[in-house]
Structure 1
């Protein structure tokens, strides 16, 4: 698994494999527990600091996975020596990679950092 993720990070996997298997399917699988908790409307009890921290750690791992796969998608969608219309799909994949990285950094990490801060402040 580690070697496969390293191949994705380097952009050595095909665009198809990186996008559909790693970004879409892999993203669904690693995000499933988080999604299920959110859909169920679960909130941690006030004294459940360990669970809240564990969830934040899990969320950071999901964000790191998404970041690694998005960078790999960018690299797999290289445009050198590619003719149209394949270049169109590669440009689209790069837009998806940028949007995912922007979401991970702009929303994901910031939101998780705020949650960790809020849980820490409630300990005082």
Structure 2
């Protein structure tokens, strides 16, 4: 029943059962930057808001995203980019928020508070 799950591994298969992640949680995945490797199960991405650096990077390098899309669990146009996160309305807390990055650590630190926010300062 964690509020935050952080994954920073070189895993090639999901690290845990996606059903264990509660709907209020945020999951940050910063490892496994290969198209065929994943830290997160596709069923988790299917029921989550998925936040990425850019659609182009996510669909080229983020195995978690690439595999969920190829399995038909995630539509590419459902991805929320960093710029949309910063410029648009807050991501609702009605389902898990997954932040999948392939870039630099400073980006993860900048985005994590927004991913955890429920839009009401909490």
Is the shorter-chain TM-score for this pair beyond 0.5, marking a shared fold?
no
**TM-score scaled to structure 1, two decimals?**
0.25
Larger relative contact order (Cα-Cα within 8 Å, sequence gap ≥ 6): 1
Which one has a larger percent helix, Structure 1 or Structure 2?
A: 1
Bigger CA radius of gyration? 1
TM-score (norm 2): 0.25
